[in-house]
Amino acid sequence: MKYIELGLVNTREMFADAIARKYAVPAFNFYNMETLMAILNASRMMRSPVILAVSESALKYMGADMLTGMIMGANLSSDDGVVLHLDHGSSVESCARAIELGFSSVMIDASKLPFDQNVEITKRVVEIAHKHNVTVEAELGVLAGIEDENTFSENSSYTNPSDVERFVRAAGNDSLAIAIGTSHGAYKRRRDDEELRFDILADVATRLPGFPLVLHGASNIPQNLVTQINEFGGKLSGARGIDVTQLRRATQMNICKINVDSDLRLGFVAATRRALATHPQNFNPREFLSSAITTMTQICTDEIRDIMGSDKKL
């Protein structure tokens, strides 16, 4: 399937506009109808471009036919400014398959490999993707690992700014994810005053003027959601995200895509826990799932306005 037939766009013009007008396009992860509805409701309401991010495990969970069926069901047109993006593609084959399915953008994440191998694999994805006018995100530097438990991972390494020009020139990718201190999951910082490495971001932006940069692991981890989850039986003590002010600052410095998954996970779980605990007689899933959609729509709306600055850009 061609992504144009699904009413999708690639990231090229979207990122050029985001850099020119100093905002970031939100990349929200989805994995079922409820998350998809919340993201699309919010982006439509806010007139924001949006990137629908699908990880390989989310693709496996939904199944390819169900995923493309849901995108068809959304009845999108190119004026809606919606990208379907493979998040953290792990191989050339995985990216090629996503392109065949109708994705308009793919990430090849070879950031854990040595520099030359990262270039080589990214280049191969770019060759395939560009034949279909699909855009490609690559990554240099390694974020801390996905955290599902109450632990902090130390396994990260910041992007080395002196590598970025050589990488992009050799690999030909359309955007670059960099590591400046964010990490995946709900446990990102030990202390409230921990700062992202804006010196690295500034250096990279100077070396790659006008080039789209991407921030992964950028959930804000709203504390009201953490409190609500804990109040209704969850155990998420010490969950802490990236400060809103720092995220806003990044959008002024060529970060034109900000990835958020954990915040919507928290919203889904917080709303569900509250609805089930406060209505113990309920056994109609549509009731608690509606609360989850409402909460996630609100999170997307707030972040589009307060973090991304991407509202009223369509």
- The set of catalytic residues is 87
Show the tokens assigned to 298.
């609100």
Establish if 204 lies at the interface with ligand G3H (CB under 6 A): no
Chain centroid to CA 55: how far? 10
Least separation in angstroms between residue 61's CB and ligand G3H is 8
Establish if 184 lies at the interface with ligand G3H (CB under 6 A): yes
219 binds, among ligand 13P, ligand G3H, Zn ion, none (CB under 5 to 8 A by kind): ligand 13P
In terms of CB distance, is 34 or 87 closer to ligand G3H? 87
In terms of CB distance, is 178 or 226 closer to Zn ion? 178
In terms of CB distance, is 214 or 308 closer to ligand G3H? 214
Least separation in angstroms between residue 300's CB and ligand 13P is 12
206 binds, among ligand G3H, ligand 13P, Zn ion, none (CB under 5 to 8 A by kind): none
Beta strands 50-55 and 105-108 are unpaired
Chain centroid to CA 13: how far? 18
x/- track of binding to Zn ion for residues 256-295 (CB under 5 A): ---x------------------------------------
**Which DSSP letter does residue 104 get?**
S
CA–CA distances in Å: residue 208 to residues 130, 166, 176 = 21, 10, 10
3-state secondary structure of 218: coil
Distance CA 313, CA 284 (A): 38
Indicate the burial class of 20 (C-beta count within 10 angstroms; 0-12, 13-18, 19 or more): exposed
In terms of CB distance, is 7 or 94 closer to ligand G3H? 94
Establish if 220 lies at the interface with ligand G3H (CB under 6 A): no
Question: Dihedrals φ, ψ of 283, to 5°?
Answer: -130, 25
Q: For ligand G3H, which residue of 55, 118, 272, 297 counts as binding (CB under 6 A)?
A: 55
Distance CA 231, CA 282 (A): 19
Distance CA 100, CA 98 (A): 5
* Alpha-carbon dihedral sign for residues 65, 71, 75, 79: negative
Residues that bind ligand G3H (rule: CB under 6 A) add up to a total of 9
x/- track of binding to ligand G3H for residues 143-162 (CB under 6 A): ---x----------------
In terms of CB distance, is 28 or 211 closer to ligand G3H? 28
Near ligand G3H in 6-45, by CB under 6 A: 29
Residues near ligand 13P (CB under 6 A) are: 29, 87-88, 184-185, 216-219, 259-262
Establish if 216 lies at the interface with Zn ion (CB under 5 A): yes
Number of Cβ atoms within 10 Å of the Cβ of 154: 8
x/- track of binding to ligand G3H for residues 248-267 (CB under 6 A): -------------x------
In terms of CB distance, is 216 or 257 closer to Zn ion? 216
Number of Cβ atoms within 10 Å of the Cβ of 246: 18
DSSP of 248-284, one letter per residue? HHHHTTTEEEEEESHHHHHHHHHHHHHHHHH-TT---
Distance CA 155, CA 301 (A): 32
Residues that bind Zn ion (CB under 5 A): 216, 259
Interface contacts to ligand G3H, rule CB under 6 A? 29, 55, 57-58, 87-88, 146, 184, 261
